[in-house]
Amino acid sequence: MPREKKQRLKKRADGRYRCRYKGIEFYSTVSSDDAIAQREEYKRSEKANAVRKQTVADFALPWLQRSFPSVSDSTYTGLAIHMQHLIDEIGNMRISDVLPSNIKAVYSRQYASCSNSYVKAARQLFSALFDSAVADGLCRSNPARDKTARPHKGAAVKPRTITAQQREWIETLCTDHRAYPAVMTMLYAGLRPQEAKALVIDRDVDFDNDVITIRETAHNNGQKYAFSARGKTDKANRQIPLFPPLKRALSAKHGYLIASAHGERVTQTTWRVVWRSYCTSMETAINGISKRWYGKTKEQKALLEKGELKEWISFDVVPYSLRHAFCAMICRDNGVELNVCRRWMGHADSKMILQVYDSVSEDRSARERKKVESQLIRGQKEGQVESLYAENVEK
């Protein structure tokens, strides 16, 4: 490879060397190389200043694309929403000018009523963004990691489970609905909704040995799901007992646990439609009439005039509520050990169960109270017997 020719400047009549760049002249009385070095230093300084003038909006979205090239469309959309919140507030600011107070303002204006987990996710993303900006020399320190930029504590989201009444309705009402097998499976096997969408009854349900094997999980991929053996955790692929209520619900069922009208694997749109239809059917069965006509019949109008018309009962169950119910009602209320419950739920450790899923019911609390009371009464009686025995010995 030939060497690059070194530029040489001619010495002027006044004894100086001169070169130009964008109309700016650089002189040196020492040597040609010194004048060229001045020009190159100016170019580097100009480039550095141009980089430092880069705004948050200029840097953020390209950084997001570079940093998360292989995530699913739905995950990327969620990250882009966070980034858009940041850009809406401080997008026109130069990255080098962003202060911790500016980051704090983003949280207070854009995340005022959001959950704690949602705010935490935003903080992690913003911190990673400015870490990259520091590494690229765009700013000296990370304003998102400063103590004064810590976000407010978001609203605590209580784990949603179902009531004993809702469980009874699920088991007895709308048993012919297309969603019923999937609902019972999430309730009595603790499947994640994405696992229920991937389950094939003929392949994964062993009626002879009473066991369900989780082999696949559905992943969001546009309007259709992508199915693979990669679960949410490394313990996601597991075996779960096939309990009698679920065995009765799945008997004589074949194919996909939840399928389209043509018997194909469910899509995101189909799942939303089926779940909405199931909730509407449940509300109609619970209230004895469609919500469209509630309070409009002659009989109900009469009750309404007397003030005796009962309030409409909503079926506000979401799919993940059924997984919560499996952990709390089916497992923990019936004394299943924590590690066994963790195994059936597909968690890597027990922390998630204790922190999120294990909601203590009134029935369990009452049973445990009776245990303590019986132990105390037994201990008191034993103490009285020992005292009486000691008195007899002394005599």
Residue 369 lies in a domain: no
Q: Looking at the structure, tell me whether residues 47 and 92 fall in a common domain.
A: no
State how many domains the chain has. Answer: 3
Helices (H), the chain: 32-52, 56-67, 73-90, 100-110, 116-135, 164-172, 180-189, 193-198, 201-204, 244-250, 268-287, 298-306, 319-325, 338-345, 351-352, 362-394
Euclidean distance between CA atoms 119 and 83, whole angstroms? 12
Count of CA atoms in the C-beta half-sphere (13 A) of 199: 30
- Write out the residue range of the structural domain in which residue 1 sits: 1-52
Euclidean distance between CA atoms 315 and 4, whole angstroms? 77
Euclidean distance between CA atoms 278 and 333, whole angstroms? 27
pLDDT score recorded for residue 241: 95
Contact assessment for residue 357 and residue 327, using Cβ atoms and an 8 Å cutoff: yes
Q: Looking at the structure, tell me whether residues 95 and 223 fall in a common domain.
A: no
Residues 6+ away with beta carbon under 8 Å from 182? 196, 197, 257, 258
Query: Taking each helix axis from N to C terminus, what angle separates 116-135 and 56-67, rounded to the nearest 10 degrees?
Result: 100
Give 10-residue mean pLDDT values along the chain (395 residues): 64 82 79 84 67 80 89 83 93 91 93 86 94 88 93 67 92 95 96 94 95 92 82 90 95 92 88 94 94 87 84 91 92 91 90 80 80 82 64 61
Residue 245 lies in a domain: yes
Q: Looking at the structure, tell me whether residues 227 and 91 fall in a common domain.
A: no
Residue 363 lies in a domain: no
pLDDT score recorded for residue 1: 45
pLDDT score recorded for residue 183: 96
Q: Looking at the structure, tell me whether residues 73 and 194 fall in a common domain.
A: no
pLDDT score recorded for residue 49: 59
* Final residue of a structural domain among 108, 125, 149: 149
Question: What one-letter code names the amino acid at 144?
Answer: A
Here the CATH number for the domain that contains residue 321 is 1.10.443
- Picking from 178, 176, 175, the residue whose alpha carbon sits closest to that of residue 262 is 178
Q: Looking at the structure, tell me whether residues 131 and 260 fall in a common domain.
A: no
Q: Looking at the structure, tell me whether residues 60 and 72 fall in a common domain.
A: yes
Question: What one-letter code names the amino acid at 296?
Answer: K
Question: What one-letter code names the amino acid at 120?
Answer: K
Question: What one-letter code names the amino acid at 353?
Answer: I
Contact assessment for residue 160 and residue 321, using Cβ atoms and an 8 Å cutoff: yes
pLDDT score recorded for residue 304: 82
Q: Looking at the structure, tell me whether residues 92 and 214 fall in a common domain.
A: no
